[in-house]
Structure 1
Amino acid sequence: MLVKVGFVGTGWFTKTHASLLGKINGVEVTAFCGTSLDKAEKEARNFSNATGYTKIEEMLDKQKLEAVYICVPPHAHGPIEYALIERNIPFFVEKPIGLKDEPNEIVRKIEEKGLITSVGYHWRYKDITKRALSLLSDRQVGMALGYWMGDMPMVPWWRDVNKSGGQFIEQTTHIVDLLRFFCGEVKEVYAVYNNQIMEGKVEGTTVSDVGSVTMKLANGIIATISNTCILQNSSKVGLDIYSDEGVIELRNDLLRVMKGSRVEEYKEETNPYLAENKIFLDAVQSGDPSKILSNYQDALKTHRITVAANQSAISGQPIYLG
């Protein structure tokens, strides 16, 4: 079965996923939908049988697509997902899945249709993540510290809190998702944010540029995840887990395991983007989604934590998750 795939969005994530899909046997990229026809056609020209569109309804009416990738800014979610759900088309969506509470209704409709979905929490597909998860199986975790310390992406929508949701929703969601994947579900969130520097440096900045979020998990683990976008380039990004057996540090391409004076390091050897794509498309072909590590229903749990953090930062009060 040849899986014909379309894309909504024309940014970095679309380019990354489409390039990988072009190398997978049995997959053909045939459609791109963008905010302008020029952008969509530019991406389509990279493939021998692809067409550009500006409206998702037109793309879906004119193409017989087996799967669609949604790679758009947070504020653009909603109508795209509903169009695909209505037509029973499986979709892969890049994180975050929305800005606030919109995904609650989307997930209800997904479950009604029994639709196959996958969300781009690619850290779950890393070999070093699998190794860390295995190591944690016989350790008692007490706390975790997470980080996303970097620079501000210079695209206008990102610095507008009403379009991106801010750094904790748009970027640091990866670390929140890792915390859940390793340690379990969060039941209480307390956040402190501030607009410390970037508001005066970059016009139109309404997102907070520094923040820390402390969480209590259902199993008693305490975690704090901090982020900033005031730096000139990417710095510390990852999650440190503290247990009775020592410390496990996970970074983008490195796992460091410390026990007493002994330190072991493991480098990431695979491409997690390729892994998540293959697993999603295999699920579309077979009808079996069991190997997908983050479907929409699971990703919604991560999203609710990040939304609760934003709410706590505004109210100054802890938020309790049901």
Structure 2
Amino acid sequence: MNIGMIGTGGFSKKHADIFTAMEDVKLQAVCGTSREKAAAFAAQYGGGSAYDQVADMLEQEKLDAVYICVPPFAHGDTEQQLIERGIPFFIEKPLAVHLNVPNDILHSLRKNNVITSVGYHFRYRDTVASLKKELENHTVGMVTGGWMGSMPLVPWWRNRDTSGGQFVEQTTHLIDLVRFTLGEVDEVFAMEANRVMAGQHENVTVADVGAAVLKMKSGVIVQLSNTCLLPEGVSEVGIRYFHSGGMIHVDMNSLTICGPSEERKETEAANPYVRENEAFLHAARTGDTSRILSSYEDAWRTQEITDAIMKSAESKKAIQLGGN
């Protein structure tokens, strides 16, 4: 398979490290913000054509699949070009800053049968499979969780217009996990503030603390918080499910099940990034999408929630979700 990569950052490398180790998979072409960056990236994997324009890459290369690993603000035209050419594509989350861009892409996808996958890798974890199985036996009442960490150094992340903010860019993983395990969201209410970071750094327009309450269609109440004001190296990311039989805690690497008379812990046995790459490339090669756990259309519903959270924080009103 000949693979194209759009983007030359950390997640581009994470995926390229995985798929170039697979049999009969080759990094054929890279498109970056400059040809120099693209060439340097490609050189890590035995070379490959370098481009600074997506249209040029798609015109000159015969690609079996393309990875899109770019900041939130850079989505839109690239996806439309791939849809027009019928090329399967994998996107790192989030889909965009605001919902209007994914709306247009989803409209195009519904008219064209193109294979897609979105990088919500939590879905591919063994511990999440165990979580879903455990929840089948209990009635969940409430969920709490948070993405607590430091602010990424890249300038685009600190600008709300280019990153969307922490709920859109990071906490989206927890929101997607809630959807994956509990179904769809009916209503959201959120609040945000900037307590520290805007005073310490220039050009910070994202909030550094925030909280959102999600009412699920099932009636479950979910409270998710996030902050990016912690010092580098200090973090806590996880989610807790409170149910009729006890409590389940999921963090970045493990699952802990707590009941009246036992506590059982499972650690991650396999790399979920490998699994999501295998699922996508299998689909691109064979047309069988059954192993893909997050299609573009499914990920759109997670983006709808983060978009509603941001609108609620701005308007100070609860937002009802309508679906599409």
Residues 126-141 of structure 1: matches in 2 within 5 Å?
126-141=125-140
Does the alignment pair 1:7 with 2:22? no
1:49 Cα deviation from its structure 2 partner: 4.5
Confirm or deny that 1:70 pairs with 2:68: yes
Partner of 1:286: 286
Gaps of 5+ in 1: none
Alignment coverage as a number of residue pairs: 320
Runs of 4+ residues over 4 Å off in structure 1: none
> CA–CA distance in 2 between the matches of 1:64 and 1:10?
20
> In angstroms, what is the RMSD of aligned CA positions?
0.8
Alignment correspondent of 2:242: 242
| Separation in structure 2 between the aligned mates of residue 5 and residue 90 of structure 1, nearest angstrom | 10
Q: 2:228 and 2:146 mapped to 1: Cα distance?
A: 11
SS of 1:192's equivalent in the other structure is strand
Matched, 1:177 2:176: yes
1:253 touches 1:268 (CA, 8 Å); kept in 2? yes
Which of residues 37, 40, 43 in structure 1 aligns to 2:38?
40
**Cross-structure match for 1:23:** 21
1:257-314 superposed Cα distances (whole Å, 9 cap, x missing partner): 0001411001101111000000100011111112100000000000000010000000
Percent of pairs with identical residues: 45
Q: When the two structures are superposed, what TM-score results if normalisation uses the length of structure 2? A: 0.97
For the residues of structure 1 that align with 2:45 and 2:229, how far apart are their CA atoms?
A: 38
Is structure 2 residue 248 aligned with structure 1 residue 268? no
Partner of 2:108: 109
| Conservation of the 8 A alpha-carbon contact between 1:30 and 1:47 | no
8 Å contact from structure 1 (residues 194, 210) kept in 2: yes
1:264 partner SS: strand
Name the residue aligned to 2:255: 255
Task: Indicate the larger mover: 260-269 or 200-209.
Answer: 260-269
Give unpaired runs (5+ residues) of structure 2.
none
Task: Say whether 1:321 aligns with 2:284.
Answer: no
Query: Is contact 1:103-1:300 (8 Å) kept?
Result: yes
Match of 2:48 among 47, 50, 72: 50
Q: Does 1:168 align with 2:167?
A: yes
- The one-letter code matched in structure 2 to 1:5 is I
> Quick one: distance in 1 between partners of 2:297 and 2:252?
25
Give 1:259's aligned amino acid. G
Larger mean CA deviation between 284-293 and 156-165 belongs to 284-293
Q: 2:95 — aligned with what?
A: 97
Counterpart of 1:143 in structure 2 is 142
Is 1:229 equivalent to 2:231 in the alignment? Answer: no
- Is the counterpart of residue 60 in structure 1 residue 76 in structure 2? no
